[in-house]
Amino acid sequence: MSRSIQGKITVLGIRARKGAPGKQDKLVVLTAYDYPTARALDQSGIDILLVGDSLGMVVLGHDTTLPVTLEVMLHHTAAVARARPRALVVADMPFLSYHTGPADAVRHAGRFLQEAGAEAVKVEGGRSRADIVRAIVAADIPVMGHIGLTPQAVNALGGYRVQGKTLSQVDALLADARALEQAGVFALVLEGIPARVGALVTQAVSVPTIGIGAGPECDGQVLVTHDLLGFTSTAPARFVRRYADLNAAIVDAGRRFAEDVRGGSYPSERESYPAPPELEAELDTRLAPEAVTEPRR
């Protein structure tokens, strides 16, 4: 029995989209952390569903991505993969799951494919991660790189700051990008760097770049879905474009439900199950006002 999905997006297909001439060929990436969101976003025709460790902040309420564990990422990745999307499923390797050496990194990356159904993993960091990326790729696990503002390094970076603002930082970013390209990444996320630096890095490597706050010249763009949907409590970053106000929609729906319950209009007869006709007479008797006793406490 064939289990292939019509038009399934693969890492080779993503890799081939480098420098695509038409803007319609730009790579489109969004985060997903659960089954229904993965299904809906896949129907919208995007290329990659990224199970980002941003889930620690936008879904679990942490201040940073650092508390997110391997088990949490596996749990959410499996939910996304169950949508059997056409889009490529990429799982973020969380803090400390690849920092302790190539053997741990390969074992942990392998769990995303073997147990959770991911098709690739993402690793943050540049030259210092090249050996780890090489080891994971050698185990036939495709790796997406991530440089610039790398949120797992928030403490080392002194906060969520735009990177690549001095010439030496720009040269370091180029060296990082080339080291990851050499190590075998199939794509590279560029986060929080000036637009022209995003253009420079994009020009310098043969793999597609996917920008988030890295300007329009990248080969693709990624956003955190909760930002795009207006479903966060904090002010959006400069690069976020909102396409919905889900927070307001949810507050409104909850308020109207509360009004209907308190006002007695919910549930209506149509929203209630009828009793079988043969019970009606007996229920009439038992529900008669004189038959109703005080509820037991």
Tell me which residues in 213-252 interact with ligand KIV (CB under 6 A). 222, 224
The answer to whether 147 and 180 have CB atoms below 8 angstroms apart is yes
Q: Any idea which residue has 């966060």 for tokens?
A: 232
Which listed range, 37-45, 47-55, 233-241, 245-253, lies at the site for ligand KIV (CB under 6 A)?
A: 47-55
CB closer to ligand KIV out of 174 and 190: 190
Residue window 180-219: x/- pattern of binding to ligand KIV, with contact defined by CB under 6 A: ---------x-x--------------------x-------
Using CB positions, name the residue nearest to ligand KIV.
52
DSSP 156-224: HHTSS-----SHHHHHHHHHHHHHHHHHT-SEEEEES--HHHHHHHHHH-SSPEEEESS-TTSSEEEE-
**How far, CA to CA in Å, does 96 sit from each of 37, 51, 57, 66, 280?**
27, 17, 17, 9, 63
Q: Which of 101, 175, 178, 106 is nearest to 142 (CA)?
A: 106
Angle between helices 130-138 and 167-183 (to 10 degrees): 20
Q: Which of 237, 234, 233 is nearest to 223 (CA)?
A: 237
Residue window 148-177: x/- pattern of binding to ligand KIV, with contact defined by CB under 6 A: ------------------------------
Shortest distance in whole angstroms from residue 53 CB to ligand KIV? 5
* H or E segment and range at residue 146: strand 143-148
- State yes or no: residue 53 binds ligand KIV (CB under 6 A): yes
> CB-based burial of residue 217 (10 Å sphere; 0-12 exposed, 13-18 middle, 19+ buried)?
middle
Which listed range, 52-60, 70-78, 166-174, 270-278, lies at the site for ligand KIV (CB under 6 A)?
A: 52-60
CB closer to ligand KIV out of 31 and 202: 31
Shortest distance in whole angstroms from residue 132 CB to ligand KIV? 17
Which listed range, 9-17, 48-56, 96-104, 272-280, lies at the site for ligand KIV (CB under 6 A)?
A: 48-56
Shortest distance in whole angstroms from residue 149 CB to ligand KIV? 9
3-state helix, strand, coil in the chain (%, to 5): 45, 15, 45
Pick left, alpha or beta for residue 192 (phi over 0 → left; psi -120 to 50 → alpha; otherwise beta).
left
* H or E segment and range at residue 120: strand 120-124
- State yes or no: residue 14 binds ligand KIV (CB under 6 A): no
- State yes or no: residue 125 binds ligand KIV (CB under 6 A): no
CB closer to ligand KIV out of 50 and 133: 50
- State yes or no: residue 121 binds ligand KIV (CB under 6 A): no
CB closer to ligand KIV out of 81 and 224: 224
- State yes or no: residue 54 binds ligand KIV (CB under 6 A): yes
Catalytic residue check, 119: no
Does the bond joining 267 to the residue before it have cis omega, within 30 degrees of 0?
A: yes
Which residue in the list 191, 280, 282, 294 is annotated as catalytic? 191
Which listed range, 2-10, 33-41, 45-53, 275-283, lies at the site for ligand KIV (CB under 6 A)?
A: 45-53
Number of Cβ within 10 Å of residue 21's Cβ equals 6
Q: How far apart are CA 163 and CA 169, in angstroms?
A: 7
Q: Which positions touch ligand KIV (CB under 6 A)?
A: 31, 50, 52-54, 92, 146, 189, 191, 212, 222, 224
Question: Which active-site residues does the annotation give?
Answer: 191
